[in-house]
Amino acid sequence: MILSISATAIAGNSLRLIEAKGEVNTTDIGGKGLRVISLWDKSKGVLVSADGNFVVVISDSRLQKIWVKDDRMNTRALAIVIPKKSDNIVFDAKSTALALLFQDPTFFRNSAEAENISIMAMNKKSFQDLLSFLKNNLPARNLEELMNNAECIKLLENCNKEILG
């Protein structure tokens, strides 16, 4: 699902940045030395704890995509984050499938549209097929590998046709 957050503001920035909490579902997502990467975080990413939790800096004013990378800097998961909706970001196969399908968060005009289209997409057969593929493959393979896989490419094409027209 597209994930929503709310958190404490970091003072002193012209752009309002916040710290957001979340978790990586390590049943769905493989890899070692996992880090959450945000455009707004000035570090090389925030380490994910042994129990899958993290705190990352994001913007509180716009939709954005964030990543989970492993110790080899391979992408393990993605999420599109909607500001001000929840207090927990979750990286899993579903968040990754939605982020792959919609690619760029600026695809949506606003947060409500993002939520509505995501709900519609998750009910489509093509999305469920992609989700199943990711659940079966993300524990052992990174996204760079999967994006070169003919079956994954076909599943994404099917989603694009059915959901985006």
Q: Does 64 or 2 have the greater pLDDT score?
A: 64
Instruction: Give the pLDDT score at 3.
Output: 44
pLDDT of residue 10: 46
pLDDT tens-digit series, residues 49-88: 999 999 998 888 778 889 999 999 999 999 988 776 656 8
Closest CA to 17 of 81, 104, 95: 81
pLDDT at 8 over 50: no
Bridge partner list, 123 = none
The total of structural domains in the chain comes to 1
Could you tell me the two tokens for 153? 């490419």
Which residue range is the domain that position 86 belongs to?
3-164
pLDDT tens digits, 94-145: 999 999 988 777 777 777 777 788 888 889 999 999 999 999 999 999 999 9
The SS3 of residue 118 is helix
- Three-state secondary-structure class, residue 161: helix
pLDDT given for residue 13 in this prediction: 42
H-type alpha helices, the chain = 93-102, 111-122, 125-137, 143-146, 150-159
Structure tokens given for 95: 């968040």
Q: Which two tokens stand for residue 31?
A: 């890899």
CA gap 66, 107 in Å, rounded: 15
Q: Please tell me the predicted confidence (pLDDT) of residue 9.
A: 46
Given this model, what pLDDT does residue 50 score? 93
Separation CA 149–CA 24 (nearest Å): 24
Residue 11's pLDDT is what? 46
Helix (H, G, I), strand (E, B) or coil at 47: strand
Predicted local confidence at residue 84, as pLDDT = 66
Query: What distance in Å separates the CA atoms of residue 135 and residue 29, rounded to the nearest whole number?
Result: 8
Higher pLDDT, 6 or 66: 66
Nearest to 146 by CA among 20, 28, 11, 35: 28
Query: Is pLDDT at 159 greater than 50 in this prediction?
Result: yes
What pLDDT, on the 0 to 100 scale, is given for residue 113? 77
| Residue pLDDT, tens place only, 12-45 | 445 788 888 999 999 999 999 999 999 887 778 8
